Amino acid sequence: MNGEWSLDVLYESFEDEKYQSDLKKARELVAEFQQTAAGLAGKETAAAIRELLQTEENMMRVLADLIIYTSLRQSANTADVPAANYMDQLQMLASSTSKEEAACKKFIASVDNLEELIEQDGFLKEYEYLLLETKKESRYLLGDDVEDVIAKLDISGGMAWSNLQSYLTSSVEVDLNGEKITLSEVRNLAYSPDVKVRREAYEAELLAYEKIKDAVCFSLNSIKCQVNTVAELRGYDSPLDMTLKQAKMKRETLDAMLSAMKEYLPKFHAYLRKKAELLGYENGLPWYELFAPMGDLGRKFTAKEAREYLISHFAPFSQELSDMINQAFEEKWIDFYPRKGKVGGAFCCNMPNQKQSRILTNFDGALGDVVTLAHELGHAFHGKQIENHRPLNTDYSMPVAETASTFNENVVMNAAIDEAEGKEKMILLESQLQDTTQIICDIYSRYLFETAVFEKRKNSFMFADELKELMLDAQKEAYGDGLDHSVLHPYMWVCKGHYYDSGLSFYNFPYAFGGLFAGGLYAQYLEEGPSFVDKYKALLKATTVSSVEDVAAMAGIDLTKEDFWKKSLSLISARIDTFLAYKG
């Protein structure tokens, strides 16, 4: 088993006749959309909106396949020259409709009796949420020509800087004990059972960033400057305000969640100090020990064993989910192992046209890698719930994007802990707390860092040394006395691709949201049993056509109140207390 995914369901290659035919068709459909948008005047309103949506549907079906295939090829090998060239063409093609899309949104927003028209037309009714949100958000649209310029300049601006960060972090060579390995490989060594390996890997990782820090620093500064400018031009209060409105999430929800998290931070600091004590440290945990295993579970998973483990653990929850996992392995949805040129981390890409997904991981066989697989397969299950929506209704907002994935983590880890006894149970419990601390402390540090970067970028350029200090300040505040402040990670801003997206800022708090929201949902599942599963699937399906708060309301949850977030955090706190009582 070579562990690479198959993209043949999309195209067999760039030379594939279907790829070239679809590329030609995409250009024709873009021209058709532009023509339709230009001919709105004088048409009956409902018919005009219907024609716009249908034309955009046709265009997006084809563009989506082309962009997904090309992007996946590029993620698997950032040195893939044809992929880079075709992606550039596709980005140009997609951006060429920006002017018309702005005009269409303004046309929809100008319809006074929009709600009445929606109620009278079955097709428009399916797009009710999209249409009403379009009208609401129209106040942030700029002139058609300005929208066109912003989209076109983003290709040589934000997107280009993002590609540079991806290329550098995927291709930089890490020198470790006379060998050259990838950044993904050295970061995986943070989970080694040998403290000497963990420490040397951490030191080698930091030295590797020295080679690329200046170029990546320019990437970060350029992207954040662009986002600041666009947010101001559109009339948003800040990039965070723009992010929340795009995410269909209220500021009150974010504030309630962050307030609850800050209240519980000391509990996570206590967990880190306890882990430090058990490992023999007096001044808090050194950064390179964050993922140190607290014992040997006695096994490494092969891909085949991971498959069996996941299928067996998800079957009691949902046979549909278990079957989908089996399908993912059987049909080569997953690209498993690290290699030079492959991007780091893990992600899932939904492919609604094919009713499938593709998953990239850097699998090394540890239990954490199996949990990562479960996480990404949660995204795939989320994609399965929305695959029958109309084509323009398949994008879920950023906060709820991590709900199904983190719910899957809860299912796997809680099942594993329940099955274990004695020392093994403690090892698994600590592993779960390790991951939870990441979505609370580390995510909070990333949120603090990105907030500071946006603010400082208004008036100054930040060189690498200043970015390092901002990152250290954020880590000290988020991790408190749980970590040894003399052994932190000043370069976390270099390797995290989430900072480098000009169209999606603050992709950090959604992980905390997903973790705590999923934790609350999992608690409901334990209370309600199998009857909860249909409610859960309906909730996931609604994520693309509802606000974050309305989705939660389907489960009887008010996200704008701290009570829900504290309840979810109290469950984690109880697990920390169990760990703190461990005598070693």
Give the model's pLDDT for residue 582: 85
Cβ neighbours around 17 below 10 Å, total: 10
Give the residue carrying structure tokens 């000391």: 266
Question: How far is residue 547's CA from residue 248's CA, in Å, rounded to a whole number?
Answer: 5
Hey, what's the torsion of the CAs at 539, 543, 547, 549, to 10 degrees? 40
Core vs surface per residue 444-464: b (16+ CB within 10 A) or e: bbbbbbbbbbbebbeeeebeb
Give the model's pLDDT for residue 584: 65
Q: What percent of the chain has pLDDT over 90?
A: 81
Residues forming beta bridges with residue 483, ordered by sequence position: 285
Per-residue pLDDT for 431 more than 80? yes
Give the residue carrying structure tokens 């009691």: 316
Ramachandran area for residue 124 (φ above 0: left; ψ -120 to 50: alpha; else beta): alpha
Mean pLDDT of the chain: 94
Sorted by sequence, the CB contacts under 8 Å of residue 188 that are 6+ apart come out as 338, 362, 364, 366
Region 106-125: what's the mean pLDDT? 94
Question: How far is residue 582's CA from residue 584's CA, in Å, rounded to a whole number?
Answer: 6
Per-residue pLDDT for 26 more than 90? yes
285 DSSP assignment = B
> Mind listing the pLDDT tens digit for each residue in 515-561?
999 999 998 898 899 999 999 999 999 999 999 999 999 988 999 99
Sorted by sequence, the CB contacts under 8 Å of residue 568 that are 6+ apart come out as 516, 517, 519, 520, 523
In terms of residues, how long is the chain? 584
Ramachandran area for residue 396 (φ above 0: left; ψ -120 to 50: alpha; else beta): beta
- Residue 330 host element (H or E): helix 319-330
Phi, psi of 232 (to 5 degrees): -65, -45
Closest by Cα among 188, 205, 190, 184 to 76: 184
Give the Å distances, CA to CA, from 77 to 65, 70, 340, 377, 506: 18, 11, 8, 22, 26
Question: How far is residue 68's CA from residue 45's CA, in Å, rounded to a whole number?
Answer: 33
Give the residue carrying structure tokens 């796997």: 412
Q: How sure is the predictor about 340, in pLDDT bands with cuts at 50, 70 and 90?
A: confident
**Of 222-226, 363-367, 448-452, the least confident:** 363-367
Cβ neighbours around 117 below 10 Å, total: 19
Higher per-residue confidence, 354 vs 418:
354
Q: 197: exposed, middle or buried (C-beta count within 10 Å: 0-12, 13-18, 19+)?
A: middle
Q: How sure is the predictor about 434, in pLDDT bands with cuts at 50, 70 and 90?
A: very high
Higher per-residue confidence, 41 vs 77:
77
Region 215-227: what's the mean pLDDT? 98
Give the model's pLDDT for residue 1: 59
Sorted by sequence, the CB contacts under 8 Å of residue 458 that are 6+ apart come out as 228
Sorted by sequence, the CB contacts under 8 Å of residue 416 that are 6+ apart come out as 313, 367, 428
Per-residue pLDDT for 298 more than 90? no
Region 427-451: what's the mean pLDDT? 95
Q: How sure is the predictor about 63, in pLDDT bands with cuts at 50, 70 and 90?
A: very high
Phi, psi of 353 (to 5 degrees): -65, -35
Give the model's pLDDT for residue 42: 75
Q: Are 572 and 435 in contact (CB under 8 A)?
A: no
Q: From the CA atom positions of the chain, what is the Rg in Å?
A: 24
**Of 8-12, 100-104, 191-195, the least confident:** 100-104
Per-residue pLDDT for 32 more than 80? yes
Sorted by sequence, the CB contacts under 8 Å of residue 354 that are 6+ apart come out as 9, 10
Give the model's pLDDT for residue 416: 83
Question: How many degrees, rounded to 5, is the angle at CA 358 between CA 428 and CA 387?
Answer: 105
Q: How sure is the predictor about 384, in pLDDT bands with cuts at 50, 70 and 90?
A: very high
> Mind listing the pLDDT tens digit for each residue in 203-213?
999 999 999 99
Give the Å distances, CA to CA, from 329 to 305, 337, 375, 446: 11, 14, 15, 33
Give the residue carrying structure tokens 């070239």: 20
Dig out the tokens for 103 from the structure.
């005009």
Per-residue pLDDT for 266 more than 90? yes
